[in-house]
Structures are given as structure tokens and as C-alpha cells.
Amino acid sequence: MTKRYLAYIALLAGWLCFCYWLYAKGIYPRLHGGQEKFWPSYTADLPYPLAFTWSSDEPLSGAGFGALKSKFNKLDSLDLLVIARGYYFRDEADSLAQLEQLGRDRITNTLKYIEIDDKRMVTQILSQEVNGDVKSKPFEAVRFQRIPFTDIVKSTADTFEICFPFKDSMTLPPDYFSRLNSWIEQQGNKSEKIMHIVGTADATGIVESSEQGFERAMVIKNKLLANGWKDEQIALSSGQRNQPLTLRNRCVVIYFE
């Protein structure tokens, strides 16, 4: 009789262990958004998928982080550029250099949990205005924007066009130049001809000067010079554009004579 009771107790203990394992590994994560070990510190009542506390660069995850993360899981199969913006409040540090570093560190630490090919990504550091009790409550400080490459890189048999993501920056992702080099290789015997590089400036809203377009053309020229092109093979010029999509006004058009 005693052996039978011991067997029942052992069976019951095994069943309880199984139920606990099933709950901890299968049911509980599904009830709470599929939390994973490689997520940032998770707070169930946080209303943002990704947030930070005052003066901190360590991300917190909350409602919707799983959905945000999944958007980037298949990024390699999509033709997209990702803009990662890191924000700061002006009182979070003592100097502008420290504030900008805080914005960069917030992006860097976020990318430990969200995988993005850096060849397809550019970053931007910006300040934001206080609109709530941000010193005692978590707030959003890193945001992502995905842009189809067809909006910013266009090519035909005769021309190649690159547009710049930011109005006030000459930053370009490495993938731009790999696409440009591929297009140049397809031009075959045109390597001895004059390459024309035309930089455009935005003529909408607060109008950019044509010199801004010339600076964009210089970015591409310097890259080509570093890749072996000769200065006398390249002709620069600039102009302005007034297209509805502002991004399409900050471009460089390349063609051979």
C-alpha cells in the first residue's frame, strides 16, 4: 500500500512539474507578448514598444515591442533603407556633445536587440521638446523610419540618381555606393568618357541654395575619386528641384557624356 501511495505522489509531482514547465515555456510567454531572453528589460504596463528613462541610454521594452522587432526580421529580403533617429532632451546632459552622444548611445544599445544591416541604415541625432513628465516616466527616444529604395535610388540605362535622406546632412548608407558601382560597371566602354554629376537642391518651403546641390555632387565625386576615377573625368554642376516629394529634391544625377 505504501509503495502505491509513493507511486501516486511521484506521478503527481511529475505532473505538477510538467504543468509548470508548460506554463512557463509555452502559455505564459504567449499571454505576455512572447517575451524573449534577448529583449530589453520588459515592463508590462509600458505604453511604448521601446522607451528610455531620463539621462539613460538603456532601452526598456513594453507593449508592441515584439511587433516592432518582427518588422526588421525579414529586412534583408526587402529593398528598404532604415533611418534610425536618436532623441534627447536639452536638460539630460551638460553639453551638446554629451547630449548628442546620449542620442547615439540610445541607438547603439537599441540595435543590440533589433538587428539591422548597417549597410542599409543611416542615423540622425535630434533634440525634442518636453511635453510631459519625462523626468519620472519613461519616454520614446529612438524611432525608426523605413523608406523604399525605389524612392531614393533610381537607375536607367543612361542615368543613375541618388537622393539624400536628410536635408541638413550629407550622410549616405554604404549600400548607395555599391549600387552606384554596379551601375557604372554596366556602362562598359564608357569609362573613358566624361562623367557628369549634377547635384540638386530643394526649392520648396525654405529654399536651399544651389551650393547645397553642389556639395551633394562633391560627396559623390570624392567617393569616385577614392575608387580610382580621375578628376579630369568628372564634371560637376548643380540645380534646384521643386517636386512634391521633398526627398526627390535632394539628389545627385549621374550620366556619361
pLDDT digits (tens, 9 = 90+) for 70-105: 888 766 656 888 899 999 999 999 999 999 999 999
Question: Residue ranges per domain, the chain?
Answer: 41-148, 152-256
DSSP 72-83: TTTGGGS-EEEE
Q: Does the domain made of 152-256 have the CATH classification 3.20.20.70? A: no
Q: For residues 218 and 250, is the Cβ–Cβ distance under 8 A? A: no
- Distance CA(209)–CA(220), nearest Å, equals 18
- pTM value is 0.72
Helix/strand/coil for 182: helix
Mean pLDDT, residues 239-243? 86
Distances (CA, A) of 74 to 120, 125, 216: 13, 26, 31
Give me 21's grid cell: 514547465
pLDDT digits (tens, 9 = 90+) for 113-133: 988 877 888 899 999 988 778
Q: Which one, of 114, 112, 122, 87, lies nearest residue 102 by Cα?
A: 87
Beta strands in 78-135 (DSSP E): 80-88, 121-127
Q: Is the pLDDT of residue 30 over 70?
A: no
Q: Does the domain made of 41-148 have the CATH classification 3.30.1330.60? A: yes
Provide the Cα torsion 244, 251, 80, 245; round to 10°.
0
* pLDDT confidence of residue 118: 79
Q: For residues 37 and 127, is the Cβ–Cβ distance under 8 A? A: no
Share of the chain above pLDDT 90, in %: 33
Of the given ranges (21-25, 156-160, 223-227, 243-247), which has the lowest mean pLDDT? Answer: 21-25
Q: Is the pLDDT of residue 138 over 60?
A: yes
Of the given ranges (47-51, 85-89, 195-199, 246-250), which has the lowest mean pLDDT? Answer: 246-250
Band of residue 247 on the pLDDT scale cut at 50, 70, 90 = confident
Give me 6's grid cell: 509513493
Query: How far, rounded to the nearest angstrom, does the alpha carbon of residue 213 sit from its chain's CA centroid?
Result: 24
- Distance CA(215)–CA(230), nearest Å, equals 19
- Sequence-ordered list of residues with C-beta below 8 angstroms from that of 49, at least 6 positions apart, any chain: 61, 62, 63, 64, 65, 67, 68
Q: Is the pLDDT of residue 33 over 50?
A: no
Band of residue 8 on the pLDDT scale cut at 50, 70, 90 = low
Can 41-148 and 152-256 be said to share one CATH topology? Answer: yes
pLDDT digits (tens, 9 = 90+) for 191-232: 678 899 999 998 887 778 888 899 999 999 998 888 888 899
- Distance CA(204)–CA(250), nearest Å, equals 11
